Structure 1
Amino acid sequence: MSGRGDSEIPDVVDPAEVARRARWTAAGTGALLALAGLAASVLRVIGSAPALVPAAYALGAFVCGLAAVLGSRGRTRRALWLLIIGAMVMALGDQFD
């Protein structure tokens, strides 16, 4: 394919658009994981899980919520690492169940 088609990526990328997408992605992912962690924590409290399990889900949800706030303020690298840590805390808490 030597011609230029509509499906090709343009050569000029607006850095402001890239930054805006990164902020929205970090904030949206953080909020989604925080809500999922809170829901899992509530479900584990209602059930017969050990106390460590809902606490781990709640802590992971808090960390993901913090990542959402940082991501919305433009700190997307820190938000990414906090999302990873929050998801790992929730997964570790699930192992105690």
Structure 2
Amino acid sequence: MSGRGDSEIPDVEVSDVGDPAEDARRARWLAAGTGALLALAGLAASALRFAGSAPALVPAAYAVGALACALGSVLGSRGRTRRALWLLVAGAMVMALGDQFD
């Protein structure tokens, strides 16, 4: 028995490996789109909470979180995807923390 049968791992073709430039472009678009979506959601939530009877800290937290997400979107579109990711996480956490005060 040579050990070669159906369990053999197929060779990886060079064409199967992703293009690094395409991966970077996809990461930039994803960071920019996610940041813009979170910023718009934060601004909409801020406007809704401002119009309601929530304490002033709640709409301010949503607005600050939306600002952080918008900045993350800008950084992501410029290729700073790692920093953009951390800003998006921080912005979403600020919005979630502001929601706890309601």
TM score, norm. by length of structure 2: 0.86
**Residue 91 (str. 1) matches residue 89 (str. 2):** no
Displacement, 1:42? 0.1
| 1:34 counterpart letter in structure 2 | A
How many pairs align? Answer: 92
Q: 2:45 aligns with which of 40, 43, 49?
A: 40
Secondary structure of the structure 1 residue equivalent to 2:27: helix
Q: 1:30 aligns with which of 15, 20, 35?
A: 35
Q: What CA distance in whole angstroms lies between the structure 2 residues aligned with 1:67 and 1:12? A: 29
- Find the counterpart in structure 1 of residue 3 from structure 2: none
Q: Which runs of 4+ in 1 moved over 6 A?
A: none
Please list the CA deviations of residues 21-65 of structure 1 after superposition, one character each: whole Å capped at 9, or x if unmatched: 000000000000000000000000000000000000000000000
Displacement, 1:13? 1.1
User: What is the percent sequence identity of the aligned residues?
Assistant: 80
| 2:25 counterpart letter in structure 1 | R
In angstroms, what is the RMSD of aligned CA positions? 1.5
Alignment of 1:4-83 (within 5 A): 11-83=16-88
Which runs of 5 or more residues in structure 2 are unaligned?
Answer: 1-5
- Find the counterpart in structure 2 of residue 7 from structure 1: none
TM score, norm. by length of structure 1: 0.90
Q: What CA distance in whole angstroms lies between the structure 1 residues aligned with 2:93 and 2:18? A: 34
Q: Greater Rg, structure 1 or structure 2?
A: 2
